[in-house]
Structure formats: C-alpha cells, structure tokens
Amino acid sequence: MIPQFNTNEIAEISTLVNQSKMVVITTHHKPDGDAMGSSMALYEFLTSLGIETHVVLPSDYPDFLLWMTKGQQVHTYDINAAKCVELMLKANTIFCLDFNEATRVEKLTESLMQSKAKRIMIDHHLEPVNFCDYTLSYPTAGSTAELVFHFVQALDSNYKISKYAASCLYAGVMTDTGSFRFSSTTGDTHRMIAKLIDCGVVPNEIYEAIFDNYSEQRTRFLGYCLKEKMVVFPQYNAAYMAITKDELKQYNHQTGDTEGIVNYALGIKGIKMAAFFCEHDTIIKISFRSKGKFSVKELAASHFNGGGHQNAAGGKSMDSLADTIAKFESLLKQYESALLQT
Ligand code: 5GP
Ligand code: MN
C-alpha cells in the first residue's frame, strides 16, 4: 500500500521538524528488523537535513541487526538509562516508530510521556492509542519501513536514499512481511523494493546478514524446541512451544534467538494458530502467529496484556509458566469454533 498522508499534516510536521533543535527517534522494546530499520533510515534522513537527531532504544537488539548501527550513534536504555531519559526530555520532537501504545517503550514510557516534545507516531499496528500529537497509523501496511520510505519522500521529494538507508528499509520490509510472503505484501511493496534495489541494496547480502547468521547454539536450540518442546492440538488446529529460563540458559540464549521459531509450529499442515512461550526472570513473553481470519491480536489483547496484528501478535504474563500454559489451553476450548472455522 501507499499511505495517503494528509498534506496539511505533512506540512505541519515538516515545519515542526525543521524548527526542532533536537529530534529523538524511539521504537519498541526488543526492537526487531522493522523497528531498527525504519528508525535508522529516518535517522539518516533527518541527519541529512542538518537536524541533530538521536535514536533512543528501550533495550538491546539482536546481533544480526548490528550492521544497521555500525558507525552510527544509538542510545540504549540498558546501557545508559540517564542519557536516554535526558534526550527524551530535551527533544523538541519525538518520532515513535513501529509501536502504537506508549507502554511499548517499557522503562522509557515515563520520559516519553513527560517530555514536552511533540510526538509523531508512524506505525502499522491495529488500534493505535492516542498518545501522540500526530498519529500516522496505517494498519494495512506490511511494515513501518514502508511508511518511512513514503514519509521521507513526502517531506522531501528530492531526497536520495543512500544504499545504507535503503538496506535498513529493505531489511524492515523483508522481516515484517515474512520475506515478502504475508498477505500485506502488495504490488506497491514490490515497487518500493525495486526502488530500494535501484538505490544499491543487494538483497542476498541483507538476507544472509539476517537469516544466515545464527550461532550454532541457536540452531541446536531450534532443533530442541521442535523435537522436544512442541505440543500440537490437532483438535483445535493449534500448537505451542514453551521454554523455561533454564533451557534458555542451557542454550546460551542471546537476544533474537527465539525470533521466528513460532513460525515452524504454524507451518504444520492444518495448524491455524501457534504460540511460543518464553520464561524470563519476571515475566513470560509470548509470541502468537495465525493463518487466515483467526485474530491473534484479539487473543493477545484480551488475555495476555498484548497486541499486534491479526496474524502476528505478542503479549506477556506475570503468572508462572505452568499457569500461563494452563490458561492458554483453556482458551483453546473457548476459541474452538473460531479456530476450526478459519
Ligand atoms: P513478536 O512475536 O515478533 O515479538 O511480535 C509480533 C507482533 O506483536 C509485533 O508486531 C509486535 O510489535 C507485537 N507485540 C509483541 N509483543 C507485544 C506486547 O507485549 N504488546 C503489544 N501491544 N504488542 C506486542
Ligand atoms: Mn513492524
């Protein structure tokens, strides 16, 4: 899709940004390829306008995305919390990329909301919360990277995207569209991708950097999850995997290692919904995926303090892993007809 931005809004945002002494770009906790890719591409654009810009991240991000920040300065709450808060409070404008509710920046929520900066959301998650001065929300877009691609051109039609920024955007689209296979992938997506390739992107380089870059431990962990941990409920067209803290430790878990594993359960013939539960120190983090009409966004939002998209959502639970799974299993019964219909 091509977002139909409101011309007046774009003009106002342009003025706002150009008059800002300092701009902050932030994104959701545990940023993924789309969150990092869209942030770094927007960072390069704003910097090219001569505007002091800082990327402020609520947490670390996977090693396979490190190339995006190589040679660029980013600030991470886990590393320097005080600096991140200071930048949030000092900014005149804050871009909120790839998230639709303030709490998604976790420990940065307070400073994000306390800041006197104007907030601009650019996002593609369903049902945005009203916490920004400008809400550029397009849930039919496959990625925030696509929106940022069109946004920078709306602000400056002569802007020439560098190979670096184009690579960041390409990675964002690629990861959020499941390598261009989800239903959100349209002709417009591919036309945009063609333009990024014209800017110098080498697709196989990006693919390899992201998908052929796992540690040996992570690949063995994947095998363990599939062989030992997958539970399938053919009667509900559903499957899940649940991993304990100790298992993560045993496989020397690094940020990003669990990403994508849930999709293997969804790949089983007949399975319409899959979940991946991961026990951390104080919370259970959950990834949901579905095929077709079954909305995991609704499931995550109604029962697991989460949200996301119809076919890809996430949530969390403060209960024990066993209780969280028991709750999930009881919900399968409740959602039985929806699961069997789709
Ligand atoms: P993942 O399973 O890859 O972590 O997330 C899938 C989708 O759900 C992403 O679009 C992500 O932004 C969203 N999501 C993941 N966790 C949460 C959460 O705790 N709350 C909300 N609102 N969305 C989430
Ligand atoms: Mn996204």
pLDDT of residue 307: 95
Which residue's CA is minimally distant from atom 6 of ligand 1?
313
Buried b or exposed e, range 64-90, using 16+ CB within 10 angstroms: bbebbbeeeebbbbeeeeeebbebbee
309 Cβ below 6 A of ligand 1: yes
Query: Hey, what domains does the chain have and what are their CATH numbers?
Result: 7-210 (3.90.1640.10), 216-341 (3.10.310.30)
| Rounded-to-integer distance, Cα 152 and Cα 160, Å | 10
pTM over 0.85: yes
Protein residue closest via CA to atom 20 of ligand 1: 306
| C-alpha 228 to ligand 2 mean position (Å) | 30
In this structure, are residues 123 and 137 in contact, taking their beta carbons and an 8 Å threshold?
yes
The Å distance, Cα 169 to ligand 2 centre, comes to: 11
**Which of 28, 96, 302 most suits a substitution to test ligand 1, by most atoms within 8 Å of the C-beta?**
28
Nearest-atom number in ligand 1 for the CA of 30 is 4
Residue 312 in contact with ligand 1 by CB distance below 6 A: yes
Both tokens of residue 218? 């992570």
Mean per-residue pLDDT over the chain, rounded: 97
Give yes or no for residue 58 CB within 6 A of ligand 1: no
The sign of the dihedral angle between the CA atoms of 318, 253, 55, 88 is: positive
- Other Cβ atoms less than 10 A from the Cβ of 326: the count is 12
**pLDDT tens, residue by residue, 200-244:** 999 999 999 999 999 999 999 999 999 999 999 999 999 999 999
Number of CB atoms found within 10 A of residue 164's CB: 19
**Ligand 1 atom closest to 176 (CA):** 10
Closest CA to 284 of 321, 325, 313: 321
Report how far ligand 2's centroid is from the alpha carbon of 119 (Å). Answer: 18
Q: What is the pLDDT of residue 342?
A: 61
Identity of residue 324: T
In DSSP terms, which residues pair with 62 in a beta bridge? none
Distances (CA, A) of 30 to 24, 36, 76, 159, 266: 18, 10, 11, 30, 23
Which residue numbers in the chain have pLDDT < 70? Answer: 342
How far, in Å, is the centroid of ligand 1 from the Cα of 57? Answer: 16
Residue 314 beta carbon below 6 angstroms from any ligand 1 atom: yes
Q: Burial code of 107-142, b = ≥16 C-beta within 10 A, e = fewer?
A: ebbebbeebebbbbbbbbbbebbebbbbbbbbbebb
pLDDT number for residue 236: 98
Ligand 1 atom closest to residue 100's alpha carbon, by position in its atom list: 22
Measured CA to CA, the distance from residue 230 to residue 275 in angstroms comes to: 10
308 lines ligand 1 (CB under 6 A): yes
Instruction: Give 106's DSSP letter.
Output: G
Contact 291, 266 (CB under 8 A): yes
For the stretch 257-301, pLDDT in tens is: 999 999 999 999 999 999 999 999 999 999 999 999 999 999 999
Task: Give the mutation target among 243, 287, 290, 318 for probing the ligand 1 site: most ligand atoms within 8 A of CB.
Answer: 287
Is the shortest distance between the CB of 306 and ligand 1 below 6 Å? yes
Measured in Å, residue 313 CA sits from the centre of ligand 1 at 5
Nearest Cα residue to 75 out of 56, 51, 91: 56
313 CA: nearest ligand 1 atom: 8
The per-residue pLDDT for 20 is: 98
| Distance (Å) from CA 42 to ligand 2 centroid | 14
Q: Report which protein residue has its CA nearest ligand 1's atom 14.
A: 314
The helix (run of H) or strand (run of E) holding residue 120 is strand 118-123
Give pLDDT, residue 337: 96
